[in-house]
Chain A
């Protein structure tokens, strides 16, 4: 077993600032991979920005914004293979796009249409988890279960800084350590849980420090740096595959948009700080990195952006073209073998609805 040390003080970083901070590079990532990462970032950005607009237009319901979280999602998923499972929270609602879930499906989820609920087995992406931190034990149980079966698969669970205060996180991390589960606990620390700042969430110096209490390594990484996130996650995945158990990754970013479309962050957030973060947001940072590297031209970037927007436009059109759900879906699927009363209820409801 590797030694468990307190988390590193600084944040792991690869991307520089084009001035005093030098650019690094990640071994094994060639031009194609670097561009694939960029495409994924832009796809998620397009999804998120369009979703806020769709919400304002009344085309989707309340929506949890993930603007400036794209690097954490894209970088970490890139370190997995397709047999590994992803356990998203609502902040990662569209992470399945990276696994081939159609945009229309995720948009349907936010439209409250049954077409938005997928079979996790088709994509290795669990259902979007709404109650905070409660899906972390699922990822750990899955990872433990595949280890018991001798399958070479890992699970990654995404959650926010607020989630680390939940009992479910604590119990999941405890199990992960004890069961040596090949799991990655990925904390997107955007420093806000709706209006509660990290300082009111914990007295711990860092969230990664919590890892030591569970007997696993804790890693801190710049959550706005897609390459650093990729590299940190890859190391955790390799540890997991080698039978060395779980890792807690704390990816540090800053929530540069409201918690959700229903939130008014002007009441509690420092507008100046948000502005700084928006200027240094993760997609632009990576774009400038690729330009410095000579891998991306502005024409490429424009094309990739139009492609992404087309995917989302098509997605919303498909989602809006779904036929209204049949009332039978109120009753179906809760049970494989339903209690007899449900069939009577449906019959009764149909009679009343006429």
Chain B
């Protein structure tokens, strides 16, 4: 075990996987000489050369579009999108090609590419450095999506994504890049996609969260400990979704709230609530509530703490479901 920050665990995964598989390459804006604006790719160009850790032009659709072609040539590209909202130009490639190309070949060709990007708010940055765009990606058929909340998962999910034959998007919670620290297995470490993690055990309410919201949920659970026993489920992977894990927790607690940073309408929390409505309705003793960002542009950063789901809002939601 090594004690690492979340961003260091990402870096470790890239080193281990590139060492293990010579067809893995990293590409993106400023990922090479600089080592990435968050230093997630630091040291890779020195270790593996500029052909396998490539500073690309500033062109997100070009990064993802050429990555599709690189897959056809036998490479496994790991594309960094510098920030969440900067990835939107690449959605054209993601929706039109990344998620569809395998299907177009009737399963004969694989597109084992990975997109990783820092996402989410709370970092006092200029506009469009704060978005939570996971829903756009989860909604695209053929694409898998995972979001770690701990250093060990950041390493294990990324490594699993790199080895996965399908395209995988990893959203890395930038707020906790250097706040989350923890034990990370050394060398090869994999966390299977599609397996949720019980971050905290409890019996009265299930708080479903992912990414930086897991910490918010844990702190809310902690502050509520005299009133209620809260279970925190860290989804880790949005697609595939660990429905069994989710349903097992709700079967036990009978109450659920779902936390996400993204705007509410059609956000991933809505999918979780729909699953509970379809498959857990008779286990539920209260309405399922969502604690989310609002359906407005991500606010001026002096107001962002009022937008991003807070411990207080999660506590309030838990009290409401307990009172229902």
Contact = CB atoms under 8 A, between A and B. Distances in A.
Interface of A: 85, 114, 117-122, 126-127, 131, 134-146, 148-149, 151, 155, 167-168, 171-172, 174-175, 178-179, 332-337, 339-341
B142 to A, nearest CB: 5
Contact of A134 (B92, B104, B106, B166): B92
Interface in B102-138: 102-110
Given A137-B66, A171-B65, A178-B57, A335 B166 contact: yes
B73 A149 contact: yes
B105 A118 contact: yes
Interface stretch (B6-14, B238-246, B307-315): B238-246
A127 B101 contact: yes
The 9 closest A-B pairs by CB, nearest first: A141-B69, A137-B65, A145-B73, A171-B62, A141-B66, A119-B108, A336-B165, A333-B107, A142-B69
A334 B240 CA distance: 13
Contacts of A339: 144, 194, 239-241
Contact of B93 (A127, A137, A178, A337): A137
A126 B74 CA distance: 14
20 contacts: A117-B106, A131-B92, A136-B65, A138-B65, A138-B72, A140-B65, A141-B73, A142-B73, A145-B72, A148-B75, A151-B73, A171-B61, A172-B62, A174-B59, A174-B62, A175-B56, A175-B62, A178-B56, A333-B107, A334-B99
Contacts of B240: 339-340
Given A138-B72, A142-B69, A174 B61 contact: no
Which of A85, A142, A149: most chain B Cβ within 10 A? A142
Given A120-B105, A337-B166, A339-B194, A138 B68 contact: yes
Nearest to A87: B69
Contacts of B51: 148
Contacts of A136: 65
A137 B57 contact: no
B69 A340 contact: no
A140 B106 CA distance: 23
Given A119-B109, A145-B75, A168-B92, A134 B165 contact: no
A168 B243 contact: no
B241 A85 contact: no
Contacts of B101: 127
Given A119-B106, A174-B57, A339-B241, A334 B141 contact: yes
Nearest to B72: A142
Contact of A143 (B69, B74, B93): B69
A148 B61 CA distance: 21
B72 A336 contact: no
A141 B92 contact: no
A340 B73 CA distance: 30
A44 B166 CA distance: 36
Contacts of A114: 106
Contact of B109 (A120, A139, A146): A120
A151 B70 CA distance: 13
B137 to A, nearest CB: 14
Contacts of B72: 85, 120, 126, 138, 141-142, 145
Interface string B79-111: 000000000010011001101111111111110
A174 B109 CA distance: 27
Given A120-B109, A336-B110, A138 B97 contact: yes
Given A142-B72, A339-B241, A175 B102 contact: no
Interface in B227-249: 239-241, 243
Contact of A131 (B66, B67, B96): B96
B164 interface: yes
Contacts of B70: 141-142, 144-145
B166 to A, nearest CB: 5
B108 A155 contact: no
A141 B110 contact: no
B228 to A, nearest CB: 31
Contact of A127 (B56, B73, B89, B105): B105
A167 B69 contact: no
Given A117-B106, A139-B69, A172-B65, A134 B75 contact: no
A175 to B, nearest CB: 5
Nearest to B73: A145
A117 B57 contact: no
A114 B67 CA distance: 26
A127 B96 CA distance: 12
A135 B72 CA distance: 12
A145 B99 CA distance: 20
B65 A134 contact: yes
A118 B52 CA distance: 30
B87 to A, nearest CB: 14
A143 B68 CA distance: 11
A155 B51 CA distance: 19
Given A144-B66, A167-B61, A175-B59, A334 B103 contact: yes
Contacts of B66: 137-138, 140-141, 144, 172, 175, 179
A145 B65 contact: no
Nearest to A179: B66
A77 B229 CA distance: 69
A155 B107 contact: no
A160 B65 CA distance: 18
Contacts of B241: 339
A340 B243 contact: yes
A174 B62 CA distance: 8
A215 to B, nearest CB: 12
Given A127-B105, A172-B66, A336 B166 contact: yes
